Amino acid sequence: MQMKGLIPIAKYSFFALISRMRNIARWSLMRNSARENVQEHSHMVAVIAHALAVIRRDIYGGSIDPGRTAAAALFHDASEIFTGDMPTPVKYFAPDIMAAYKKVEAVAAQKLLSSLPTEMRPAYDELFSGADAEMAALIKAADTIAAYLKCLEEMKAGNQEFRLAAEQTRRKLDSMKLPEADYFIEHFAPAFEMTLDELNIAFD
């Protein structure tokens, strides 16, 4: 490792950049009872994407790899290290804004990949791209479910700022017509509206 005085000179910055996802706030236009950052959100999306893949494989007889799906989900918002989190009303305001943002995201992803050793880039490029349409669909559903659950938790805390977002996100989920997402919402979402004491009672 090269040194500049007492400070090491980094050859590759990929993981140092990834760690900065925790500095990017989500829901920036909303009043939050509990702030959420992109790193926290990405972990939850990976957990849910893994669950959706397990549901597809073990309940509906699919052949998707839950581990690979979870790994890809961890990086689904990695480009926001450079772009920041654009509020949904802005991102989807007009098709040309969305198209331009997608181009910026692609450039940001390539910038991130370039901060890895050449030999490691193909493995991460596959994760960044979502690998295939089936996996990408489950990750998109997991992303939407995570947003919906955030809305439920905010409303449980008495924050009605998230009421309309919850309704819109639920409609978006329903329009996906994914059995795995429907299964998750039916079996797991209600617990997010419970208090800790109620959750403990459920385990008795």
Give residue-wise pLDDT tens across range 130-142: 668 999 999 999 9
pLDDT value at residue 92: 58
Whether the pLDDT of residue 129 is over 80: the answer is no
Look up the pTM and report it: 0.86
Instruction: Please give the C-alpha separations between residue 102 and each of 44, 54, 105, 195, in angstroms, as whole numbers.
Output: 23, 29, 5, 39
Residue 73 CB coordination number (10 Å): 30
Q: d(Cα 69, Cα 66) in Å, to the nearest integer?
A: 5
Of the candidates 135, 140, 137, 146, the one whose C-alpha atom is nearest the C-alpha of residue 39 is 146
The pair of three-digit structure tokens given for residue 84, joined into one six-digit string: 């920041």
In tens, the pLDDT along 108-124 reads 889 999 999 999 999 99
Find the farthest-apart pair of alpha carbons in the chain and give their distance in angstroms, rounded: 59
